[in-house]
Structure 1
Amino acid sequence: MKAVGLYEYLPADNPKSLQDVEVDKPSAAGRDLLVEIKAVSVNPVDTKVRAPKEGQEDEPKILGWDASGIVRETGSEVTMFQPGDEVYYAGAVNRPGSNSEYHLVDERIVGRKPSALSFSEAAAVPLTTITAWEALFERMNIPRDKEENKDRSILMIGAAGGVGSIAVQLAAEAGLTVIGTASRKETEEWTRSHGADYVINHYENFREQLEKHGFQDVDYIFCMNATETHWESMSDVIKPQGKICTIVEAKENLNMNLIKNKSVSFLWEFMFTRPVYETEDMIRQHELLQEASQMFDDGTLKTTVTKKLSGLHGENMRKAHQILEEGRMIGKLVVEVQTQ
């Protein structure tokens, strides 16, 4: 079958970085589904895995951890899906990715595609939805109760990106006062349109901006950009006994003493933890994708796709990686197998 893979870890503009390859079509076994891929989206994790580094692969390494498609085969232990089902999912970073004609994925991390969304619209949201959902409701344990949250606030750093675009919607739906960060007019408008009550600039002093909007501090902070850059500012404005969650690895050691006297909780969110370690609660990703699917169908959540490329091949994947690495992407970029 056709796929896009790499043998060397090279810059995205190098024609050898992501190449068209032919690999064997896999077969479903155990709890795996064989999915015919209809669309994929590209995430920062894709660019980080591809980024230049030493080492070569004997077999093509296939990236891609966001997809939608149709189940074509099921393993002998599959109980929740059958051939013909339309699905969406993010997969597992320790297995071959979805940039191929067919893809194997464990049913416990797959949800039924929202019927209101096209394959392209659906491919844009699994990884970001799982990440945002786990960060808000499972890592920080924010209640999903508007009455309970009516006097609580959350600061979201990098609110216009893929994860932020979903997180803002989920937090607003839960009744939190949402303060997003953005630095351009278009990202500010995007953040407000997805449910943010206030928007501040992440290049300027957090406290001064928050005080202008009537906030001395915030109950929660969700960091989706440059953890070490914003660490002192986050430590300053988090409320005593508040919670900070980040999805971005720090490039330098963080001074945890800054939050010690406030008894602040610091949390990591990595959405691949459950599938990589096959945790006992791995099926929670299936369950939350199922619930999110209903929310997309009833209009509570909206897809975040803003750019599409047609044709799942090396040239388009290289182009997609370059766009993401420019650092100005709003929402999500999707690559369609064919125009829909």
Structure 2
Amino acid sequence: MKAIGYNHAGLITAPDALVEFETGMPEVKPRDLLVEVMGISVNPVDVKVRAGMEPEKGPKIIGYDAAGLVREVGTDVKNFKVGDAVFYAGEFTRSGSNAEFQVVDERIVGKKPKSLKYAEAAGFPLTSITAWEILFDSLALKEGAGLGESLLIVGGAGGVGSILIQLAKKLTRLTVVATASRPETIEWVKKMGADHVINHRESLVDQVKALGLTPRYVVSLNGTEQHFPAIVSLIKPRGHIALIDDPQTLDIAAIKLKALSFSWEFMFARSMFQTDDMEKQHDLLNRVSEMIDQGTLISTVTNNLGVLSIESLKKAHTLQESGRVIGKNVLNGF
């Protein structure tokens, strides 16, 4: 099968930053699906891995979002059959979706939304799982809860922020405040459903106070190191901070006086450690798929960059590295 990978970690501008090659079909284990990849999307994790993780042997295939058709099922598969259309975010420790075929554990796979084409469907899994786990695992919210409380999302216009705003508005009663700084990102965040939009290039504390709010929950999706003092200042005592980025230093002792809770979200943790509840990702993806088909959730995809190739994938990585992506960029399969 055809695949695109990389031989050496480094800059996307290097002539051989990505390489196309032929490789054997992956082995299908008992709980696995063999999926013909029909669409993919690119996330910040793709860029971080390609730039900083040296392959152990041969070219490394990355790609952490896909939609496609099931072509083979493992001996113990319960939820899917050959011919099913599916979408998923894959696993951090297995070969990725930048290939003609991919194997993935059925417990982290959902039924593709019928109303979306494959590439557009591929824009949802990783961000949806991340956002869902933030709300209902990290913050421990219950559906329908949150009346009288508010949630601040720092970095609302990216892939995770776009779906997190929607899930919070549709499944909880929280007042949602999201940050954005450019006219186009401000409009996008409003379209996603945020109750209030503030500028993360200005004082978060002053802007939140001006709204008359004291958030119990803060989710920081980027720039956590820069914004952490403001977050600690403005959040309610006994509130909860969740983040997904990788700050180099963080004064965690600063949260003690307010008795704050703190958690990282890493959506690959369940599959990486084969947790007893990893099938929760299958369930939540099916729920997201239903919400999309019902029109409850709207697409977060802003660009389809064409058929998967070295050129189109390089463009997607370059855009992701710019830090200016709104929503999600997707590509069609080979």
Q: State the TM-score, normalized to the length of structure 1.
A: 0.96
Give secondary structure in 1 for the equivalent of 2:289: helix
Superposed, which structure 2 residues align to 1:43-62 within 5 Å? 43-52=43-52, 55=54, 57-62=56-61
Question: Given the alignment of the two structures, is residue 314 of structure 1 paired with residue 310 of structure 2, yes or no?
Answer: yes
> What is the CA deviation profile of residues 133-190 of structure 1, one whole-angstrom value per residue up to 9, with x for unaligned ones?
0001111111211xx4221100000000000000000111112100000010110110
Identity of aligned residues (%): 47
Tell me the distance in 2 between the aligned counterparts of 1:167 and 1:64: 21
Q: 3-state DSSP class of the match of 2:197?
A: strand
2:107 aligned residue: 108
The aligned runs of 1:117-156 (5 Å cut-off) are: 117-145=116-144, 148-156=145-153
1:182 & 1:121 partners in 2: Cα distance?
Answer: 24
Q: Secondary structure at the match of 1:218?
A: coil
The match for 2:256 is 260
Rounded Cα–Cα distance in structure 1 between residues aligned with 2:304 and 2:268: 25
Match of 2:168 in 1: 171
Aligned to 1:11: 11
The one-letter code sitting in structure 2 at the alignment partner of 1:293 is: S
> Residue 291 of structure 1 aligns with which residue?
287
Does the 8 Å CA contact 1:39/1:67 hold for their aligned counterparts? yes
How far apart, CA to CA, are the structure 2 residues paired with 1:52 and 1:137?
31
CA distance in 2, matches of 1:164, 1:110: 22
TM-superposed CA distance for 1:10, in Å, is 2.2
RMSD: 1.1
Residue identity in the other structure for 2:199: N
Q: After the TM superposition, which of the residue ranges 154-163 and 292-301 deviates more from structure 2?
A: 292-301
Gaps (5+ residues) in structure 1?
Answer: none
> Which structure 2 residue ranges, 5 or more long, are not aligned?
none
> Whole-Å Cα distance in 2 between the matches of residues 257 and 89 of structure 1?
37
For residue 264 of structure 1, report the CA deviation from its aligned partner.
0.7
Question: Which SS does the other structure have where 2:83 is aligned?
Answer: coil
Structure 1 residue 159 and structure 2 residue 156: aligned? yes
Query: Between Structure 1 and Structure 2, how many residues are aligned?
Result: 333
Instruction: Say which SS state the counterpart of residue 266 (structure 1) adopts.
Output: strand
SS in 2 for 1:160: coil
| Between 276-285 and 314-323, the greater mean CA deviation after superposition | 314-323
**Counterpart residue identity of residue 76, structure 1:** T
1:241 equivalent in alignment to 2:238? yes
Q: Which residue does the alignment assign to 1:324?
A: 320
Give, in angstroms, the shift of residue 257 of structure 1.
2.3
Structure 1 residues 47-87: Cα deviation after superposition (integer angstroms, max 9, x where no partner): 0001156x454321000000000000001011110000000
**1:185-211 C-alpha deviation (Å, 9 max, x unpaired):** 110110011110101111111111112
C-alpha distance in 2 between matches for 1:52 and 1:93: 14
Contact 1:7 1:57 (C-alpha < 8 Å) held by counterparts: no
Alignment check: 8 A CA contact 1:307 1:332 kept: yes
What are the Cα deviations for residues 243-289 of structure 1, in whole angstroms up to 9, with x where unaligned? 1100112111x112221111110011000000000001110100110
What's the counterpart of residue 2 of structure 1? 2
Runs ≥4 residues deviating over 6 A: none
Q: Distance in 1 between matches of 2:15 and 2:108?
A: 33
- Secondary structure at 2:206 match in 1: helix
